[in-house]
Amino acid sequence: MYGSGMLKAFGVTLQNFLRKPSTVQYPEERLQQHPRFRGQEFTWYEERCTGCASCAKYCPLGIIKIVTDPSGGDYQDGGSYRIDQFDIDQARCMYCGICVEACPYDALHMGTRFEAATYSREDLVITIDDLRARPKHPSAWFRPQLAKEGFDPFTEIADWREVGRETYFWHPKRPEMVPEDLAQKASSDGDYDKSQDND
């Protein structure tokens, strides 16, 4: 019968009319993001960062600017440089997360926020002071250690000791963080072997 297809179609729309809506009223109601969400608020741990600038080198757009001062740290000893400037130009960032993947010391993480509208372009540039000041909500993107422990990045704040692939930070400048047996091994071996670093 001509027109039966149309009637079936009206039946489908009627069914959907009675179904629970699949949309939410956004500013009042929010959907929960997943732990790997690549958000806008970069999380950076100064304690873990050595100033190697791997993130800046691997960024496809070259929007990370790092200025380090070798005289600030005892770099002869395998220590880290003093980081004077760490700018991320979020206006041009595409949140691919390759900087996070490239970081050998798990110092830089993606964030969890997605509402970062500002009134001027200058405000979109994150400086080192912003990175130091903001609460640390690291996303689990490329950080499986954060996903495994049932860590909820959207509400919990992570300490710099928790976010690494190792539970301690193997670094001669911070001997208090090294377990005793490893410290003894290091002192008996003599010099700190850089090739053993966690890259």
Under the rule (CB under 8 A), what is the footprint of another protein?
Answer: 2-6, 8-9, 11-13, 15-16, 22, 33-38, 58, 60, 94-98, 101-102, 110, 139, 141-142, 144, 147
Q: How far is the CB of 5 from another protein (least distance, A)?
A: 4
Give the integer Cα–Cα distance in Å for 38 and 96. 8
Q: How far is the CB of 188 from another protein (least distance, A)?
A: 31
Q: With respect to another protein, which residue has the nearer C-beta, 9 or 182?
A: 9
Give the integer Cα–Cα distance in Å for 65 and 87. 5
Q: With respect to another protein, which residue has the nearer C-beta, 95 or 192?
A: 95
Q: How far is the CB of 142 from another protein (least distance, A)?
A: 6
Q: How far is the CB of 45 from another protein (least distance, A)?
A: 19
- The full 3-state SS of 72-123, as one line of letters, equals HCCHHHCCCCEEEEEEEECCCCCCCCHHHHHCCCCCEEEECCCCCCCCCHHH
Side chain identity at residue 30, one-letter code = R
Positive or negative: CA dihedral 86, 195, 160, 34: positive
Q: With respect to another protein, which residue has the nearer C-beta, 31 or 117?
A: 31
| Of 116, 40, 134, 130, the residue nearest 86 (C-alpha) | 130
Q: With respect to another protein, which residue has the nearer C-beta, 150 or 190?
A: 150
Q: How far is the CB of 158 from another protein (least distance, A)?
A: 17
Q: With respect to another protein, which residue has the nearer C-beta, 94 or 182?
A: 94
Residue 152, CB-side half-sphere exposure with 13 Å CA sphere: 5
Give the integer Cα–Cα distance in Å for 152 and 86. 27
